[in-house]
Amino acid sequence: MQSVRLSAQGVVLMVALTLAGCRQQATRPLAAPNAAAVGPAKDAEKAETPKLSGKLNVFVPCAFVPPLAEITEAFTKEHPQVEVIERAENVEVLAPRIEKGAKPDVFVCIGDVEMDRLQKAGVVEDREDFCFVGLTLVVPEANPAKIQKLADLARPNVKTVAVGAEGTSPGHYTRELLKEAGLWEKVAPKAVCPKFPSQLLKLVGALNKADAAIAYAACLRAGRGDRKKQDQYQTLVQGIKAVQFLDEGEYCQSVPCPAATVKGCKNREAGQAFIDFLRTKAAQEVLRNSGFTGLSDAKCLR
């Protein structure tokens, strides 16, 4: 796995992505993002900005690679003595590495189940939610099973449904929704449960091995603005469409995305500053443009 190094002099994104998820999401390095779109985090507090330095190691799930490129360049403009080194892989690759002793300064997590596991193990601290992600019901573009809503998954003509593995955030929240809707007992025998969130979309699209999937909605909502130029999302959603967003309307479930410093890390001060930066107004706008829900946006928590 190669690292992604960002500094005040520029951004070079070279993410070697794993076969199970990230690698197929990008076919070329990301273009250098427009840091001017992010801007200073808090102008009124510039005089109080701490002078941070050194290397800042950040573990980043694949889904956050496009927005974090833009946010990180803006962060290093505020803190030019900090060199951010991002390691981008599937969340279920990164979280176990931390459990086994890896000590990045920051772990950015999509979904909170994986972070809860690390917190219970006592290996993370300074935890903060910085955005939310929804779930969506997706089908092949042709939609041969004629699925339009969650209840359709129980029909006999629907043979295979991709559902996140138990113990993962998409798996946990999908099971909760289906149980609440009285559908889980009918869907469970049809379920295929990949470990990596990106595989949920691939099983419906590129691999054509499922009639439907319940997956993170960010990729489906990220076709706005500059994100159209970033093929990580666009490649992943080829051949599929969303038929029901599950963080709005009848079901209304928003999944928290936390970031935390890791106990024993080398640059905790810079790590905490990076987490704070993710919560600024400008960073929140970048996250919204990448399909995530901001901290101040309407959301549904159970």
CA geometry: angle at 260 spanning 257 and 263, to 5°? Answer: 150
Strand 161-162 to 212-216 pairing: parallel
Q: Please provide residue 134's backbone torsions phi and psi, each rounded to the nearest 5 degrees.
A: -100, 170
Q: Using alpha carbons, select from 66, 7, 15, 3 the residue that is nearest to residue 37.
A: 66
pLDDT value of position 161: 98
* Whole-angstrom distance, CA of residue 223 vs CA of residue 74: 22
Strand partners, 135: 216
Contact yes or no for 144/239 (Cβ under 8 A): no
Contact yes or no for 67/218 (Cβ under 8 A): no
| Structure token pair of residue 100 | 């086994």
| Nearest-10 crossing angle of helices 197-204, 169-180 | 70
In the chain, the amino acid numbered 231 is: D
**Distant-in-sequence, close-in-space partners of 29: CB < 8 Å, separation ≥ 6:** 12, 13, 14, 15
Residue 22: other Cβ atoms inside 10 A: 24
pLDDT value of position 221: 85
Residues in the chain: 302
* Whole-angstrom distance, CA of residue 65 vs CA of residue 238: 18
pLDDT value of position 48: 54
Going 49 to 14 to 103 to 216, the CA torsion angle's sign is: positive
Contact yes or no for 114/107 (Cβ under 8 A): no
Q: Would you call 42 helix, strand, or coil by DSSP?
A: coil
228 CB burial (10 A radius; 0-12, 13-18, 19+): exposed
Strand 124-140 to 106-108 pairing: unpaired
Cite the residue boundaries of each domain of the chain with CATH code 3.40.190.10: 4-133+256-289, 134-245
Q: Answer left, alpha or beta for residue 126, where phi above 0 means left and psi between -120 and 50 means alpha.
A: left
How distant, in Å, are the alpha carbons of 46, 111, 198, 280 from that of 43? 5, 30, 37, 11
Query: From first to last of its 302 residues, what are the pLDDT tens digits of the chain?
Result: 434 444 433 333 333 333 344 543 332 233 333 444 444 444 434 445 568 999 999 999 999 999 999 999 999 999 999 999 999 999 999 999 999 999 999 999 999 999 999 999 999 999 999 999 999 999 999 999 999 999 999 999 999 999 999 999 999 999 999 999 999 999 999 999 999 998 999 999 989 999 999 999 998 887 544 444 445 666 777 889 999 999 988 888 899 999 999 999 999 999 999 999 999 999 999 999 999 999 999 887 76
- State the pTM of this model: 0.82
* Whole-angstrom distance, CA of residue 301 vs CA of residue 168: 17
pLDDT value of position 33: 37
Question: Quick one: 4-133+256-289 is in which CATH superfamily?
Answer: Periplasmic binding protein-like II (3.40.190.10)
Q: Please provide residue 50's backbone torsions phi and psi, each rounded to the nearest 5 degrees.
A: -65, 150
* Whole-angstrom distance, CA of residue 79 vs CA of residue 276: 13
**How is domain 134-245 classified at the CATH fold level?**
D-Maltodextrin-Binding Protein; domain 2 (3.40.190)
